[in-house]
Structures are given as C-alpha cells and as structure tokens.
Amino acid sequence: MANLGFIGLGVMGSRMVRRLLTAGHTVTGYNRTRSKALPLLDVGMRWGDTPAAVARAADVVFSMVANTAALQAVAGGPDGVLAGLRPGAIFVDMSTVSPAVSRTLAAQVAAKGAYMLDAPVSGSAITLEEGRLSFMVAGDRGAYERVRPILLDIGPKVTYVGANGLAASMKIATNLSLAVQMLAFSEGVLLAEKSGIARATAVEVLLNSVIASPMVKYRGPFVLGMPVEALFDVNMMQKDLLLALEMGRELDVPLPTTAVTNEFLTAARGMGLANKDFAVMFEVLARMSGL
C-alpha cells in the first residue's frame, strides 16, 4: 500500500480518492475549497493545508485540476507542490493542460531530484464509477512502472506513450473527438426529428447503430434531458478544443471539424449555457433549427 497525496477533489478527483482509499492506500488530500473534502475526510482521507504539505506527506502526489493556470498555481510558490516535493518522489498530473507547460514543470520537478508524469484520463465520472477509466502516461519509464499499480486501482487500462508532455498531447487529441462526435450526433437527431421522427426514437436508433461510440452511448441520452450536474461543462470542453487548435497551428495539422465545433461552444456560452454539460450544443443547434 502506498502513501499518497491528492490535489484537486472535484468531480473526478474525489471519486479517484475514494477508489484509492478503498484499495487500502493512505491518502492526504488538498482542495482549494475545503468543504468539498469533508465527505472524504469522513471516510479516512487525511487533510493537507497546502499542496506543499500534501507533497511532504506523500511518496506519490497526484493532481487533478481544471486547467494549465490551476496546475501552475498548485505547483509553484512557497505553498506549492515543488516546495514540498521530496527527492525520489513522483508527481503525477492527471489534468488536461498545455503539453509545453507540462514539460517545463517536469524539468522543474527533475531539478528537485524527483520525477513527474503526465497521466491524463479518458473517461468521465460515469466511466470512473463503472471501473472503466483509462490512463495515458508519459515521463520517466521507471517512475511509470512504480506508479502503474496505483493507477490500476483507479482504472483498468494504463498505456505508456513516451516522454514528458506526450500524454498531455494524446489527451488533447482524444478530447477534440468528444465534442465533434456530440455535434455530429446532434445533427443526426435533429435531422430525424424535423423529418417527423420522435426525438426519443431517433436517439434509440442511433444509440443502437454503428455510430454509437462509448461516449455517444452515455452522453447521447442527454439530448432528452440534461443532467443536473455537468459531467464536463462547456467551458472545460472549449478549453480543450482551444489547446487542440493551438497544437494544430504549431504542428501544421488542419482541424476543420474542431474549429467548427468550437464555434458552437462559443454560441452556447453566448446563450448563457456555459455551466451546462457540453452536450448542450444540441440545444444550440435545436434553436438554430427552429425547435
């Protein structure tokens, strides 16, 4: 059993901590809003007052935060992870962030005599709770081998992809398809509906057709009723698409469907839907369709 730290106890992070505690690990956690940690404290998680305190208490420190700026905030400064990280320790960032920033941070961690892995996930809170979450991991191979058994306590699939920053790149390449698929699914539902087919019937047919990817299977029904709590809201998804478009410009890879989908997310924000799950693009397209 490992002595772990975990920074970022939101929708995904809190569920990961529960799985780690269930597996028998000792977990010291930190979240900017302490009240969100109370349910975890009730089931055995220890509290660290700062990210540095968490790092000092752990051999392996995980972070799952909202964006690049949030990662830099928890990593740097006198109270950050870097300040508390011990030589030989491993810092594993699961956030979806800029690959360049992730590589820079990995170099700073190495200067402390420690190791950093970028290890973003593919899946949502639903796939996590179902035990189907997958990881892509990049960084030092030896550090990866040490951490892999712990990651398997969270999800069943862990794939090593190469040097620092490449897992962050892979995650961005993966996430752009989530939004693009959802927009295409919405187009199909609305085309069927306006031709006279009931929306629920169209959804049923599509979810049992060849286009029903795992993501479409769990998010497609949202067009019949949006969840109260967004699994992945508009702002978060647009952040990932903007990272993808930035990578596309840097690497000379045209991303036409990503660019179009990004505009629908902007439209959703303009309609006051930023806090909804990004499946709300369906509502944007429905309004444009006169429904």
Query: Which pLDDT does position 1 carry in this prediction?
Result: 75
Kindly list the domain boundaries of the chain, sorted by start residue. 3-163, 170-288
Asked if 88 and 114 count as a contact pair (C-beta separation under 8 A), the reply is yes
- Could you say which DSSP state residue 9 is in? -
**For residues 17 and 28, what is the distance between their CA atoms, to the nearest angstrom?**
9
Tell me whether residue 171 is one of the annotated catalytic residues.
yes
pTM of the model: 0.92
What pLDDT is attached to residue 8?
97
- For the domain bounded by 170-288, which CATH number is listed? 1.10.1040.10
Identical fold for domains 3-163 and 170-288, yes or no, is: no
Other beta carbons within 10 angstroms of residue 69's beta carbon come to: 11
The 3-state DSSP class for residue 32 equals coil
Domain spanning 3-163, CATH architecture: 3-Layer(aba) Sandwich (3.40)
Angle between helices 281-288 and 256-270 (to 10 degrees): 80
DSSP 84-106: HPPTT-EEEE-S---HHHHHHHH
- Annotated catalytic residue: which of 171, 217, 239, 276? 171
What's the pLDDT score for residue 223?
97
pLDDT in the model for residue 49? 97
Residue with tokens 């306006």: 194
Positions in the chain whose pLDDT score sits under 50: none
pLDDT of residue 126: 87
What are the tens digits of pLDDT across the range 19-43?
999 999 999 999 999 999 999 999 9
Q: Please tell me the predicted confidence (pLDDT) of residue 2.
A: 86
Using CA of residue 227, residue 231, residue 236, residue 237, what is the dihedral sign?
negative
Q: What is the CA angle 239-164-23, rounded to 5?
A: 85
